[in-house]
């Protein structure tokens, strides 16, 4: 497939990346900002997410949230945003004829949001409801709990949305100061994909930002990892299912073995032909949902297995997952490795048919890594992985000393799970 992109750096340092996709009828614009939970002190916890919400509440040229949403939805477009640990994303996808409108809406609320005091207080209540919703959904809660277990007493272990206490303590001045600190030209990447030529797109973006004064942003808090023994946290809930996460420390986004870990992840828990799915669901009938995932951050990462089971089968499910982690350390047959490679490559190719996915692919890499690997580059890296590579990464990472387990369910204590927490 073709995944060629072009890059322009404006006179004030803004990075603009585009991919021309003439076969599409859409244009997708994604703004990436180096703002997220890893840039926040404990007192600021959730401030990146709060700022993201406030950008949609009114800007200089569209002073209400209704005007912002109607401008894009009125042409059939999609407008949204997300905050994570290392970045905040704002994206818009519209019919290509409305590219200029989409760029204007995004640029306006990123450059000149109003932060109306009344809207700040209303949005504070909305965010508190969002935190409550996550807390009330057991599968979401266990995702947060495993982070707390893996990364205690640091930004990585906190909910990206913050805590009720921190959100209640964030003031309008704090929001504006944080946005000024992080929303600056060196800390922003604009990525565009769709049926629009590079020169046209880059010129339009430059016109919006050429007079924006820039400065150096704040830096993220580095990871702290002093784990030397298994960790376990069980949170009692009156639920119909037990929700289980078993996690190991993973690899950073620049680690040379990251693709071997992704291959291990595909073999163990991606898709209905993965080892965990076949063993826990098809063979034992223990679960409806079981899967694994990897996360690659700037200086660390994670590998996590999730399962939702009847509480009476929770101990057996934990043991079964740990058993699969043990036996994969013996290696992966060539045929199984080949299947995993084709799965990863095929999934990537299919994802790149969408203009927003292409824009996201470019922008995230440029912001986080200061370089972009093409799809072809990644596929070549995947093809180069050997069975020895997968075995090595399994034996290096799937170790008892770095094992973390989080369980949410109707359990009075963690005693039933303490024994045999080893790989």
Active site residues: 52
Non-local (6+) Cβ contacts of 192 within 8 A are 16, 17, 18, 19, 27, 28, 29, 30, 201, 205, 359
Which of 86, 80, 93 shows the shortest CA–CA distance to 53?
A: 80
Per the CB < 8 A criterion, the answer to whether 13 and 185 are in contact is yes
Identify which of 23, 14, 1 has the alpha carbon closest to the alpha carbon of residue 107. 14
Q: How many beta carbons lie within 10 A of that of residue 330, not counting itself?
A: 9
How many beta carbons lie within 10 A of that of residue 266, not counting itself?
A: 25
- On whether the CB atoms of residues 232 and 417 are closer than 8 A, the answer is yes
Polymer length in residues for the chain: 423
Residues in a beta bridge with 296: 301
Alpha-carbon separation of residue 277 from 22, 295, 320, 321, 395 (angstroms): 39, 20, 11, 10, 22
- 359-362 contact pairs (CB < 8 A, 24+): 359/19, 359/28, 359/29, 359/30, 359/91, 359/191, 359/192, 359/193, 359/194, 360/30, 360/89, 360/91, 360/191, 361/3, 362/5, 362/17, 362/18, 362/19, 362/191, 362/193
Q: How many other CB atoms are there within 10 angstroms of residue 278's CB atom?
A: 15
The answer to whether the beta carbons of residues 141 and 243 sit under 8 Å apart is yes
Structure tokens at 87: 């970045």
Nearest to 48 by CA among 90, 83, 86: 83
Cα separation, 193 vs 353, in Å, equals 11
């Amino acid at each position: 497939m073709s995944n060629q992109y072009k890059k322009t750096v404006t006179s004030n340092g803004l990075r603009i990346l585009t991919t021309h996709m003439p076969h599409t009828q859409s244009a997708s614009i994604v703004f990436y900002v180096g703002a997220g939970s890893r840039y926040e002190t404990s007192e600021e916890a959730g401030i990146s997410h709060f700022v993201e919400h406030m950008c949609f509440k009114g800007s200089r040229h569209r002073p209400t949230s209704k005007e912002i949403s109607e401008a894009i939805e009125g042409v059939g477009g999609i407008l949204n945003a997300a905050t994570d640990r290392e970045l905040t994303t704002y994206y818009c996808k519209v019919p290509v004829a409305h590219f200029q409108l989409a760029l204007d809406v995004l640029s306006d609320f990123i450059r000149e949001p109003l932060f109306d005091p009344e809207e700040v207080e209303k949005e504070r209540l909305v965010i508190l409801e969002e935190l409550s919703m996550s807390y009330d959904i057991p599968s979401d809660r266990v995702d947060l709990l495993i982070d707390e277990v893996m990364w205690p007493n640091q930004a990585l272990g906190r909910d990206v949305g913050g805590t009720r206490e921190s959100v209640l303590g964030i003031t309008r001045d704090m929001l504006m100061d944080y946005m000024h600190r992080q929303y600056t030209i060196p800390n922003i990447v604009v990525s565009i994909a769709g049926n629009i030529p590079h020169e046209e797109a880059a010129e339009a973006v430059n016109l919006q930002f050429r007079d924006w004064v820039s400065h150096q942003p704040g830096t993220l808090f580095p990871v702290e990892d002093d784990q030397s023994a298994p960790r376990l946290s069980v949170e009692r809930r009156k639920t119909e299912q037990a929700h289980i996460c078993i996690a190991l420390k993973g690899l950073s986004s620049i680690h040379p073995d990251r693709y071997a870990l992704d291959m291990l992840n595909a073999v163990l828990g991606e898709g209905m032909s993965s080892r965990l799915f076949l063993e826990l669901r098809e063979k034992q009938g223990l679960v409806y949902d079981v899967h694994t995932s990897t996360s690659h951050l700037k200086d660390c990462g994670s590998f996590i297995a999730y399962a939702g089971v009847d509480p009476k089968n929770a101990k057996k499910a934990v043991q079964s997952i740990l058993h699969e982690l043990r036996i994969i350390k013996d290696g992966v047959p060539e045929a199984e490795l080949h299947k995993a490679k084709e799965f990863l490559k095929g999934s990537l190719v299919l994802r790149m048919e969408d203009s927003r996915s292409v824009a996201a692919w470019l922008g995230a890499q440029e912001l986080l890594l200061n370089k972009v690997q093409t799809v072809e580059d990644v596929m070549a890296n995947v093809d180069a992985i050997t069975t020895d590579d997968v075995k090595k990464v399994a034996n290096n990472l799937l170790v008892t000393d770095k094992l973390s387990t989080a369980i949410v369910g109707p359990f009075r204590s963690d005693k039933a799970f303490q024994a045999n927490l080893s790989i």
